[in-house]
Amino acid sequence: MLTSCIATDTLSPYQFIRDGGTMVSSGEMFELGFFSPANSQNRYLGIWYKKVSNRTVVWVANRDAPLNSTSGVFEISSNGILQLVYVGNNFNTTIWSSSFVSSMNVTNPVAQILDTGNLVVTEESNTIWQSFDHPGDTYLPGMKVGKDLITGIDRQWTSWKSLDDPSSGQYAIYMDTKGFPQIFQRRGSKLHTRFGPWNGVRFSGMPSLIQNPTSVNEFVINDKEIYFKVHVHSSVVSRMYLDPEGDLTRMIWVDLTQSWSLILAAITTDSCSAYGLCGPYGICNSRSFPVCSCIEGFEPKHIEEWNAADWSSGCVLRTPLGCGNGTEHGFRRFSGVKIPDTRTAWYNLSMNLKECEMKCSRNCSCTAYAGLDIRNGGSGCLLWFGDLMDVREYNETQELYIRMARSELASVTNQDSASNKKKTVVIAVVSTSICLVMACLTLAVYARIKKRKSYMKRQGKTNLRNILNYNLENFISLCVNVVSSYDGRKEDIDLPFFSLPTIAKSTSNFSVTNKLGQGGFGPVYKGILEDGREIAVKRLSKSSKQGLDEFKNEVRCIAKLQHRNLVKLIGYCIQGDETMLIYEYMANKSLDLIIFDTNGSSMLDWPQRFHIIHGIARGLLYLHQDSRLRVIHRDLKAANILLDNDMNPKISDFGLARRFKGIETEANTNKVVGTYGYISPEYAVHGLFSVKSDVFSFGVMVLEIVSGKKNRDFSHEQHRDNLLGHAWELFKEHRSLELANPQLRGMHADSEILRTIHIALLCVQHHAEDRPTMSYVVVMLDHEITLPSPKQPAFYNGVSLPQIIASSSNPTDSTVNNVTMTLLDGR
């Protein structure tokens, strides 16, 4: 006799679920039942998040066989087959079933919905069937993407046809196991996008798929199965979703906003996304026009087609290869690319890069080779024996070595040398010509001044000296600028130019009343352009050598970055002896002017402070992980956080920032720069800076925002600890709330304040490896996950950075462990 089963996590033979009944996982994370998507009237059996209010569906059983009524019944047979049955008046029809082939003699099967979102059928402790082997449009943590080589199960995602229709759509994500395995996206029956092979960290064509503290990426390849899997912290609600338009994104549920938040765009759709757009040996660059070119050493196979933007025939070697003893061949190294299609490639997981090169060089059919794992200097070996397809430029560290004729390699070297020589000649001719013109102008001015009246003779000499000096400085500067413009290192920065008269007019000729402040770069003025835009003008001080370096660095760093929590650089002015940067104007000035001011601080309640903390964290996450360049700020402090009209924080002042490429995350320097109270210990003492240096500075700033006290100037009548040490002592004694500004307490936000202090203490731990990344900081701020216990902070028990370098005669230019310290006061 069948019995109805409602709101349990298991289903046994002779039990069933009618439309309206559900199964709920033991932790109430997922629910299974009948639903109708969006505007559809059809009924489907599916699984959705129970704790997520908008019922986000993650799996559909009968996606291609909808029910048109509420007469569906879900059951499990005595031999372990799940069935969705339409119950009619005179007959029953099986709409969907989980038919499988099993050698097991099933006698007591049980279906269960797990807190992972997986629907499983088990016989005692053996899994007979699971929904994770048959994904729909959603990837859940713990799910595999790939093939079981024993059973033949091929796990691939398929998009819905539309938001109203869960039937199989146009797009599918799958792992192709021919050659060396790689991930593809298919549109219909046609290859759409290739995400490339696994390089030890991520798939080479998916640079945004990086590991963070909330997840661990796993890639397995053996004789039984080949798959990719993501493990996520159990307290983080996360999914990857392939939408009907083919976009693949990773989302996390944000409790504070009751919504899904995008944290990863795994597919970046651009002009180079299409598979094999540039043909064999072509390379695609979405930032170039046209996007296709031939790999260096190759030329278009059919030049007429190529010039007509038909690149399908691709390119061929400029110098054909023979098949001799290999001595007439060599390999040219290419980096910053997505490596070619590996479906016809040969691989060996245990070879090193040198062995890989030797194996390729001995086989004249081998066209290229590469290492497999970028974490170990290119361990493992990939060999290509045919055309190189689907190569594109990426900010990637995996290197590709392509076989070419020795003469071609030599000609490349000679071309580079000739090009450099030609460039040098051009520089010399142009700069010499300009210098001669300037010299003539200077002599003309000199001759004119000599004709002045005798009673102005003394004054005239003074004017002559000044004018000569002025023109000398300008023509030397101009010569230098010309040379630097032709030295091959000029960066392509698309930044508007503002004339000096325009900026002078906007600032009332740099009026004192328009001056906003003074920094290491120079004074900052408010201005209003003719179109009504308010601007902030950073004017390089003529006496600031450091300021000139900062100017160049700031333009290089921030001109290419765009984020709501970064101050926007809108232009520059270099004219005469003036050098200026033009920014958007921030009406509420800098954070330090508010939180450290008694009157200003009283106007800032906890929600506003938390909003500022969260915005700074988002901006740092962008700099460290999501921007085109990985940027370490190196001078993060309250004075460098600007606030707009709505109190949105904007990270500013990138004069000391450093950029990184690829997966590079840390570096050493012999010159330590930054501000007392914010510099991490490994940077201060050893000159080692990384993203964790910024995390430390962020943690200090959070404690300052919560308390309204400066770390550097903090004092307490009962101890010598700085603000970090005081926060640590209060935390150990479970009195952290006492750290908060008194006006913040008792405002129904105590738990959030305590959590924020806890996160800040994790950020200021002494050892860099103990500190979280900014991606994990954002997750901790957004979610009520269990926080790890912090360890002792840096500069604890009253030991601060000034004390570390106290033996120096000059605390702003001292040496510790052979590292030069140029520490900046509050700017």
Query: 733-750, pLDDT tens digit by residue?
Result: 999 999 998 888 766 688
482 vs 557, residue with greater confidence: 557
Is 105 exposed, middle or buried (CB count within 10 Å of its CB: 0-12, 13-18, 19+)?
Answer: exposed
Q: Are 586 and 644 in contact (CB under 8 A)?
A: yes
Kindly state the DSSP code that residue 222 receives in the 8-state scheme.
Answer: S
pLDDT surpasses 80 at 825: no
Cα distance between residue 788 and residue 3, in whole Å: 46
Q: What is the mean pLDDT of residues 354-370?
A: 92
Bigger pLDDT: 479 vs 349:
349
Beta bridge partners of 421: none
Using pLDDT thresholds of 50, 70 and 90, give the confidence band for residue 520: low
pLDDT band at residue 366 under the 50/70/90 scheme: very high
Q: Are 393 and 342 in contact (CB under 8 A)?
A: no
Average pLDDT over the chain reads 79
Nearest to 248 by CA among 167, 339, 187, 338: 187
One-letter amino acid for residue 814 of the chain: S
Q: Is the pLDDT of residue 663 over 80?
A: no
> For 153-172, what is the mean pLDDT?
93
Is the model's pLDDT at 654 over the cut of 70? Answer: yes
pLDDT tens digits, 692-739:
999 999 999 999 999 999 887 776 666 667 899 899 999 999 999 999
* pTM for the model: 0.55
Catalytic residues, by residue number, are 635
Q: How far apart are CA 564 and CA 646, in angstroms?
A: 12
What's residue 702's pLDDT? 96
Q: How many residues does the chain have?
A: 827
Residue type for position 325: N
* 163: pLDDT strictly greater than 60: yes
Cβ atoms of residues 61 and 46 within 8 Å: yes
d(CA 368, CA 400): 7
Q: What is the mean pLDDT of residues 773-792?
A: 85
Give yes or no for residue 410 having a pLDDT over 80. no
CA of 384: how far to CAs of 226, 325, 389, in Å? Answer: 21, 19, 10
Confidence of residue 658 (pLDDT cuts 50, 70, 90): confident
Q: Using CA atoms, how far apart are residues 750 and 754, in angstroms rounded to an integer?
A: 6
Asked: is 1-134 a CATH 2.90.10.10 domain? The reply is yes
Position 214 scores a pLDDT of 63
More confident residue, 357 or 206: 357
239-to-20, 44, 116, 587, 631 alpha-carbon distances in Å: 26, 21, 11, 39, 28
E-assigned strands of 602-740?
A: 630-632, 641-643, 649-651, 658-660, 666-668, 671-675, 688-690
% of residues, the chain, pLDDT over 90: 38
Domain 592-824 is found in CATH 1.10.510.10: yes
Kindly report the number of other CB atoms within 10 A of residue 636's CB atom.
29
**Whether residue 15 has pLDDT greater than 60:** yes
pLDDT category, 290, cuts 50, 70, 90? Answer: confident
CA 32/CA 48 separation, integer angstroms = 7
- pLDDT, average across residues 54-63: 91
Q: Is the confidence at residue 9, as pLDDT, over 50?
A: yes
What pLDDT is stored for residue 162 in this prediction?
Answer: 92
| Whether the predicted pLDDT of 417 surpasses 50 | no
Tell me how many degrees the CA angle 319-325-327 measures, rounded to the nearest 5.
60
Q: Give the strands of the sheet with 72-76, arranged side by side.
A: 3-4, 15-18, 72-76, 82-87, 92-97
Burial class (CB in 10 A: 0-12, 13-18, 19+), 499: exposed
Average pLDDT on 22-27 reads 94
Confidence band, pLDDT 50/70/90 cuts, at residue 684: confident
pLDDT at 488 over 60: no
Band of pLDDT at residue 66, cut at 50, 70 and 90: very high
pLDDT band at 600; cut points 50, 70, 90: confident
Query: Given a cut of 50, is residue 808 above it in pLDDT?
Result: no
What pLDDT score was predicted for residue 124? Answer: 84
Residue 217's pLDDT is: 83
* pLDDT at residue number 316: 94
Q: Give residue 408's pLDDT band: very low, low, confident or very high (50, 70, 90).
A: confident
- Phi/psi zone of residue 515: left (φ > 0), alpha (ψ -120 to 50 degrees), beta? beta
Nearest to 778 by CA among 607, 641, 631, 615: 615
Looking at per-residue pLDDT, the higher value among 326 and 237 belongs to 237
Residue 806, pLDDT > 80, answer no
- Among 4-8, 19-23, 305-309, 780-784, the minimum mean pLDDT is found in 4-8
Among 30-39, 423-432, 628-637, 714-723, name the most confident range: 30-39
The mean-pLDDT minimum among 68-82, 222-236, 497-511, 622-636 falls in 622-636
Residue, of 545 and 235, whose pLDDT is higher:
235
Q: Report which of residues 562 and 803 the model is more confident about.
A: 562
Tell whether the model's pLDDT for residue 28 goes beyond 60. yes
Q: Which fold has domain 500-584?
A: Phosphorylase Kinase; domain 1 (3.30.200)
